[in-house]
Amino acid sequence: MINFEISPHLEEYRRNIEKQAFELMRPIAREYDEKEHEVPWDYVHKMWGAEKEEVRRQLEDVRREGRIRRDKEFHLKQMITNEELSFGDAGIAFRRGRYGLGGAAIMAVGTQEQKIRFLKKFAEGEPKWGAMAITEPGAGSDTANIGTTAKLEGDHWVLNGEKIFVTNGKMATQEGDGLVVVWATVDKSAGRAGIKSFVVEAGTPGMTVTKVEDKLGLRCSDTASIVFEDCRIPFTNLLGSPEALDKAKTTGFKGAMATFDATRPGVAASAIGVGKAALEFVREVFGKEGIPIKYGASLHHLSAAERDFMDMEANLHAARLLTWRAACLLDDGKPNNLEASMAKAKAGLAVTKVTQKAVELLGPLGYSRSYLLEKWMRDAKINDLFEGTGQINLLIVARRILGFSSKELK
C-alpha cells in the first residue's frame, strides 16, 4: 500500500514551524501588508540565526565533498517549511534574510570555488539577501529575448541592461553583503545558447535600483527594477567553469534552468500554505456558525457550501502531493523537470480558486479588511505568475509528455 503521510519526525517538525508561523508572523501580517516597503526587522533577525547555521553546514559539505550532503528528506522538509511559513504569511516569508533564488542558481551551476566564495557571505554577519534577475521589459516568459548584454573586456565582464520584477532586488543590492544572479547574453545571435548567468555583488558600481513595485499581494515582499550601466564584474563571476563558456549545457540557458527544477516546487508549497490559511479560516467560521463538514456522506446529503469546501480541500491535497513528489524525486537524485512544472501549475491554479471561493463563501466577512482572508486572495494570484506562469508550466508539461521540443510546441 502506498503511504501518502509524512514521517512522524517530519510531522513534529511541521507542527513546530506552524506554531512559529502563528506566533511570529500572523500577528504582524496586516501591519506589513499596509507598510509595504518597510522591513519586519524583528522577524528577520529572529530567523537569521537558523539561516546562517544551515548555510554553514552546506559550506562545510561543499568544502569537504564538493557538493551539499543532504539527508534523505531534505527537499521534502523544505516544502513543508515553505508551506507552513506561507501559512503564517507569504509576504513576510519572502522578506526574511536568505540566499534565495540567487543562491539556488549558484548551487545549481556554480563551481566548487564559486559556491564557497559567494555563499560564505550568508554564513556570517548580519542579515543579507540573494536575488535572481531574469525578467526584462521585453523578455518575460520567452527568455530567448533577453536583451541585457555581457561583454568581455580584459579580465572583466561589462553588463548593460534592465531587469524588472526582481524578488528581493532592493535588499540584495543595498543591504549588507548580498548578491544578484543576472541572466545576460554574450551573443544575441546565438539565442538561448548565448545566455549565461553572472553574479553581481551588492555595492558594485553601475548596478542601480530604479523602482520598488507597489503590488496587489505579497506586499511585504521586496520587488524591484534594476538597471545595469557599464557594470563591471570580475571574469570569475561568470557562473560555471570558464572553460565551458561556449557550452550552453554548463553555464548557459540549460544550466540556469536547472535552478527552477529545485525552486518551482518551493513556490508551489508556498502557494499551498496560502490556500491552507484560507481553507482553515473558512472551516473555523463554518464551525462557529454550526455548519458541519460531513465527510463520508453522499453528495445529495451535502449542502452546496460543504461541496465547495470539499472541492477546495481536494484541490489543495492534489497540489500538495504533486509538490511532495517533485521534492522526493530531487531527494532521490532523479530528474523532476516534468513534476516540478506539474506542481507549480496545479498549485498556482488551486490557490487562486481556493482563496476566491473562500471569499465568496464568507461574503462580507471574506471581503472585509477586518480579517486576513481578502489579503490571502491577493497574495494567492502571484503564485500563478512568477517562476513561470501557469500557461508556461502547462506548456512544459505538454512538451515532456508528448515528446515535443520548444520549437515544435509553442
Can you give the three-state secondary structure of the chain, one letter per residue? CCCCCCCHHHHHHHHHHHHHHHHHHHHHHHHHHHCCCCCCHHHHHHHHHHHHHHHHHHHHHHHHHCCCCCCCCHHHHHHHHHHHHHHHHHHHHHHCCECHHHHHHHHHHCCHHHHHHHHHHHHCCCCCEEEEECCECCECCCHHHCCCEEEEECCEEEEEEEEEEEECHHHHHHCCCCEEEEEEECCHHHHHHHEEEEEEECCCCCEEEEEECCCCCCCCCCEEEEEEEEEEEEHHHECCCHHHCCCHHHHCHHHHHHHHHHHHHHHHHHHHHHHHHHHHHHHHHHHHCCCCCCCCCCHHHCCHHHHHHHHHHHHHHHHHHHHHHHHHHHHCCCCCHHHHHHHHHHHHHHHHHHHHHHHHHHCHHHHCCCCCHHHHHHHHHHHHCCCCCHHHHHHHHHHHHHCCCCCCCC
Tell me the pLDDT tens digit for each residue of 118-153: 989 999 899 999 999 999 998 877 777 899 999 999
Q: What are the φ/ψ torsions at residue 224 (nearest 5 degrees)?
A: -135, 160
What percent of the chain clears pLDDT 90, i.e. is strictly above it?
75
Strands 130-133 and 179-185: parallel
- Read off the pLDDT band of 171 (50, 70, 90): very high
- Read off the pLDDT band of 3 (50, 70, 90): confident
Tell me the pLDDT tens digit for each residue of 185-219: 999 888 888 999 999 999 999 999 999 999 999 99
What percent of the chain clears pLDDT 70, i.e. is strictly above it?
95
How far CA 231 is from CA of 144, 149, 197, 291, in Å, comes to 22, 10, 14, 61
Euclidean distance between CA atoms 379 and 151, whole angstroms: 39
Domains and CATH numbers, the chain: 8-123 (1.10.540.10), 130-246 (2.40.110.10), 254-402 (1.20.140.10)
Q: Is 113 a catalytic residue?
A: no
Of 51, 73, 136, 387, the catalytic one is 387
Euclidean distance between CA atoms 16 and 87, whole angstroms: 13
Residue with cell 545595469: 228
Angle (nearest 5°) at CA 323 between 76 and 398: 140
Q: What is the pLDDT, as a whole number, of residue 248?
A: 45
Q: What is the pLDDT, as a whole number, of residue 144?
A: 74
Tell me the pLDDT tens digit for each residue of 333-387: 899 999 999 999 999 999 999 999 999 999 999 999 999 999 999 999 999 998 8
Q: What is the pLDDT, as a whole number, of residue 250?
A: 45
Tell me the pLDDT tens digit for each residue of 62-87: 888 877 777 788 899 999 999 999 99
- Read off the pLDDT band of 255 (50, 70, 90): low
- Read off the pLDDT band of 252 (50, 70, 90): low
